[in-house]
Amino acid sequence: GAVVSQHPSWVICKSGTSVKIECRSLDFQATTMFWYRQFPKQSLMLMATSNEGSKATYEQGVEKDKFLINHASLTLSTLTVTSAHPEDSSFYICSASRSGRSYEQYFGPGTRLTVT
Amino acid sequence: DAKTTQPPSMDCAEGRAANLPCNHSTISGNEYVYWYRQIHSQGPQYIIHGLKNNETNEMASLIITEDRKSSTLILPHATLRDTAVYYCIVRVTHNAGKSTFGDGTTLTVKP
């Protein structure tokens, strides 16, 4: 149990376009989901915290108008990278916590975004 | 959340125990020690967590010093599939997800 999926697993897009990444909790309800970014040979950096039915909370330095987060249901959160540029190329990872078991955190497999 | 310090890399022979240290000298009383690992190009995987007592599960053991300023993750019989980056994180449990990942330790298990 406690599986988190991401779609797509990888995506290539042209500079200036937008791309949406989905994060789903497959067998549990996740009141909170988190989005991380990881550049090559670097550690994970938390971008934002997403709560179902409310606005996301962004970490300092993360542009909320560029990285749109929607947490429409207890099993789905989406991250949209708007007007993507090559410097947005990265590995995007989501994680989710189960309702009532906030100490557990389950990570998705990640989405590799390449902006050309 | 408290900052952690880990060695950047370690090697271990296949079948032997891998002991990964973590220093968290500024840990506060309500912070837990969590360990995750990340195999190349995958999402992190939860391994184990603890507060002050030693913990063991099917994957690993966690030894926390009495003063809680450091801990050691033990993989009792390392396999090639255990090659990964291991992250030690300290955080208050209700902040699950709001984890600050350091640079971790790259463990390479060699045949």
Closest by Cβ to A97, choosing from B36, B87, B97? B97
With bands split at pLDDT 50, 70 and 90, how would you rate the model's confidence at A85?
very high
> Of A41, A42, A43, A21, which Cα lies nearest the Cα of A33?
A21
Cα(A15)–Cα(B62) distance, integer angstroms: 46
Residues of B in contact with A108 (CB under 8 A): 43
Q: Using the beta-carbon criterion (under 8 Å), do A44 and B96 form an inter-chain contact?
A: no
Confirm if A110 and B42 have CB atoms less than 8 A apart. Answer: yes
* A68 beta partners: A80
- pLDDT value, residue A32: 87
Residues of A in contact with B46 (CB under 8 A): 104-107
- pLDDT, one tens digit per residue, over B34-61 is 999 999 889 999 899 999 989 999 999 9
Which one is predicted more confidently, B2 or B107? Answer: B107
DSSP for A4-25, written as a single string: EEEE-SEEEE-TT--EEEEEEE
Confirm if B26 and B34 have CB atoms less than 8 A apart. Answer: no
- pLDDT, one tens digit per residue, over B53-100 is 899 999 999 999 999 999 999 999 999 999 999 999 998 866 656 778
User: SS3 sequence, A40-90?
Assistant: CCCCCEEEEEEECCCCCEECCCCCCCCEEEEEEECCEEEEEECCCCHHHCE
Q: How many Å is the Cα radius of gyration of chain A?
A: 13
Q: Using the beta-carbon criterion (under 8 Å), do B46 and A104 form an inter-chain contact?
A: yes
Which A residues in the span 40-99 are in contact with B, Cβ-Cβ below 8 Å? 43-46, 49, 91, 93, 95-97
